[in-house]
């Protein structure tokens, strides 16, 4: 190594002047190293490390080691056990044209107060094709009887439809969806590409190298609830990645849904090079299958859909939902839908519901699922705040809900379900106003 190159690197190490003794040691070590390279079959010769460590001062010798390591890229200093990054993992995963994975979910507890305990195990095999769509085969196991029931769902992005076949009941269900909902469905069904993107948007830690089924893996972990869109709390999501291929090997998730329901999920058995055809994603509905609900359209994941759902909820119950998280909203909806008066109210307020059975009424009341938009805001870290416990339809000017749209800008929905955009200062003044 020439003297000019050595001088350049020594000067770039820091603003403080390098002691002359360190410079001399580094120069001697460099010279000796060059001689060592020119004499490869000299096992009796001392190594570079030994030459440096024979110096008079240990600290100066250590400084020389650092200089030479930077200079030559030699492995004298401890290295990270992994250079894997989540961005690199995502890049590898997105190169897969079609892949498969299996998921197991255990749910224990109950959905809330006055709700029965529900221990349930589910197994799902999912195939994803960039070209053809998604296919999910789900098996639910009754923990009491061991009885298994299954269903298969096909999601066809090109037609914007999803079809679910339920062989045990000889029924099927088809509904339409928009682009936003399709993106959310991929996240909810543990599409690893979406999971990695969500994790990258959260704070996460890198875990020490481990071994899973004989494969060396590196791990990433987050406890940020937004990684699952605010669906649950006390979240821990761990992703294990093959240290060689940079492809996911296993992911594990634990979270609470409400106060009493706990969920544990494991995604594994990935196949990243799966051959598929269009026929694999083509739902064939047997002639003896009956439709559960026909022509169902999923709720709009938008501000418009949110307001429509809130208005419908208030018409049936006289108030707004107390919470908009999916679990708590589902609990409230189920509670008032089981009230004998509600079906009659629905038929009174919605003329097209008259003469319909329960499944058809469910179709009309789909806007009640306004929690989808709230979940999207949580996922996108828009800091949504909802005041349904204290603000009702009569609180015309009160802030029912708000979320951040820019650095000092918020979107606000008021008690009368009108909406507007305000600054942070204006929002603070609005939220100070007493309820009428």
Contacts by residues 397-406 (CB-CB < 8 Å, ≥ 24 positions apart): 397/430, 397/433, 397/436, 398/430, 398/433, 398/435, 398/436, 399/427, 399/430, 399/431, 400/310, 400/320, 401/306, 401/324, 401/374, 402/427, 403/377
Buried b (16+ CB within 10 A) or exposed e, 145-165: eeeeeebbbbbbbeeeebbbb
Rounded CA gap, 179 and 168, in Å? 31
The per-residue pLDDT string of the chain (436 residues; one tens digit each, 9 = 90 and over) reads 555 544 554 454 444 455 555 455 545 545 544 443 444 444 444 433 333 333 333 333 333 333 333 333 333 333 333 468 999 999 999 999 999 999 999 888 876 555 666 678 889 999 999 889 899 999 988 777 778 889 999 988 778 788 899 998 899 888 777 666 655 555 555 578 888 988 998 899 999 999 999 999 999 999 998 888 767 788 999 999 999 999 999 999 998 877 778 899 999 999 999 999 999 999 999 999 988 755 555 556 788 888 988 888 888 788 898 888 766 777 777 666 666 566 566 656 555 444 445 555 555 555 566 777 888 888 778 899 999 999 999 998 899 999 999 999 999 999 999 999 999 999 999 988 776 5
Contacts by residues 305-309 (CB-CB < 8 Å, ≥ 24 positions apart): 305/367, 305/370, 305/372, 305/373, 306/370, 306/373, 306/374, 306/401, 306/413, 307/370, 307/413, 307/417, 307/419, 308/367, 308/370, 309/367, 309/368, 309/369, 309/370
φ/ψ (deg, to 5) at 280 = -65, -20
Domains of the chain: 3-72 (no CATH), 86-291 (2.50.20.10), 299-432 (no CATH)
Q: Please report where in the chains the tokens 């939220």 appear, as a residue.
A: 431
| pLDDT at 75 (0 to 100) | 30
Show Cβ contacts of residue 399 under 8 Å, excluding neighbours closer than 6 positions: 387, 391, 412, 413, 414, 415, 427, 430, 431
Q: Which is it for the CA torsion 125, 261, 188, 197, positive or negative?
A: negative
Rounded CA gap, 170 and 361, in Å? 21
With residue 23 as reference, give the H or E element that holds it.
helix 20-38
Phi-psi region of 147 (alpha: psi -120 to 50; beta: other; left: phi over 0): beta
| pLDDT at 261 (0 to 100) | 82
| pLDDT at 313 (0 to 100) | 84
Q: Are strands 171-176 and 290-291 parallel, antiparallel or unpaired?
A: parallel
Rounded CA gap, 317 and 312, in Å? 9
Q: List the one residue out of 8, 279, 236, 273 whose CA is nearest residue 133.
A: 279
Rounded CA gap, 198 and 187, in Å? 9
Rounded CA gap, 325 and 369, in Å? 10
Burial class (CB in 10 A: 0-12, 13-18, 19+), 301: buried
Q: Please report where in the chains the tokens 């694999």 appear, as a residue.
A: 280
Apex CA 135: angle with CA 131 and CA 139, to 5°?
165
Buried b (16+ CB within 10 A) or exposed e, 374-389: bbbbbbeeeebebbbe
φ/ψ (deg, to 5) at 424 = -60, -40
With residue 183 as reference, give the H or E element that holds it.
helix 179-188
Show Cβ contacts of residue 12 under 8 Å, excluding neighbours closer than 6 positions: none
| Number of helices (H), then strands (E), in the chain | 13, 17
| pLDDT at 335 (0 to 100) | 67
Helices 3-12 and 20-38: crossing angle in degrees, nearest 10, is 130
φ/ψ (deg, to 5) at 329 = -65, -40
Burial class (CB in 10 A: 0-12, 13-18, 19+), 313: buried
The answer to whether the CB of 319 falls within 8 A of the CB of 426 is: no
Rounded CA gap, 179 and 324, in Å? 22
């Amino acid at each position: 190594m020439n003297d000019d190159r050595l001088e350049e690197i020594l000067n770039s190490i820091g603003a403080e002047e390098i002691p002359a003794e360190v410079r001399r040691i580094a120069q001697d070590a460099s010279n000796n190293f060059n001689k060592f390279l020119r004499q490869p079959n000299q096992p009796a010769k001392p190594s570079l490390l030994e030459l440096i460590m024979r110096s008079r001062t240990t600290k100066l010798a250590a400084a020389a080691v650092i200089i030479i390591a930077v200079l030559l890229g030699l492995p004298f200093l401890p290295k990270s056990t992994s250079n894997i990054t989540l961005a690199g993992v995502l890049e590898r995963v997105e190169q897969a044209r079609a892949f498969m994975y299996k998921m197991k979910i255990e749910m224990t507890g109950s959905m809330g107060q006055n709700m029965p305990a529900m221990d349930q195990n589910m197994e799902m095999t999912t195939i994803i094709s960039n070209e053809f769509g998604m296919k999910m085969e789900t098996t639910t196991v009754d923990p009491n009887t061991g009885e298994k029931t299954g269903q298969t769902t096909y999601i066809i992005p090109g037609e914007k439809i999803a079809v679910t076949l339920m062989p045990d009941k000889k029924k099927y269900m088809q509904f339409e969806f928009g682009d936003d909902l399709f993106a959310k469905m991929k996240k909810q069904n543990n599409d690893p590409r979406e999971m990695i993107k969500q994790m990258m948007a959260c704070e996460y830690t890198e875990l020490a190298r481990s071994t899973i089924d004989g494969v060396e893996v590196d791990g990433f972990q987050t406890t940020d609830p937004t990684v699952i869109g605010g669906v649950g709390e006390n979240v821990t999501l761990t992703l294990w990645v093959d240290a060689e291929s940079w492809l996911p090997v296993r992911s594990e998730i634990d979270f609470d849904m409400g106060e009493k329901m706990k969920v544990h999920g494991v995604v594994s058995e990935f196949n990243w090079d799966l051959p598929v055809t269009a026929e694999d994603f083509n739902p064939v509905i047997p002639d003896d299958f009956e439709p559960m609900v026909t022509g169902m359209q999923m709720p709009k994941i938008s501000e418009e859909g949110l307001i429509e759902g809130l208005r419908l909820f208030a018409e049936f119950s006289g108030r707004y939902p107390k919470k908009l998280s999916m679990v708590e909203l589902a609990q409230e909806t189920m509670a008032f839908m089981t009230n004998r008066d509600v079906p009659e109210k629905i038929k009174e307020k919605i003329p097209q519901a008259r003469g319909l059975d329960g499944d058809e009424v469910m179709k009309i009341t789909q806007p009640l699922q306004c929690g989808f938009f709230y979940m999207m805001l949580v996922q996108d870290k828009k800091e949504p705040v909802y005041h349904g416990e204290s603000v009702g339809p009569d609180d015309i000017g009160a802030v029912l809900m708000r979320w951040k749209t820019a650095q000092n800008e918020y979107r606000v929905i008021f008690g009368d379900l009108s909406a507007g955009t305000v600054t942070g200062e204006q929002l603070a003044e609005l939220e100070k106003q007493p309820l009428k």
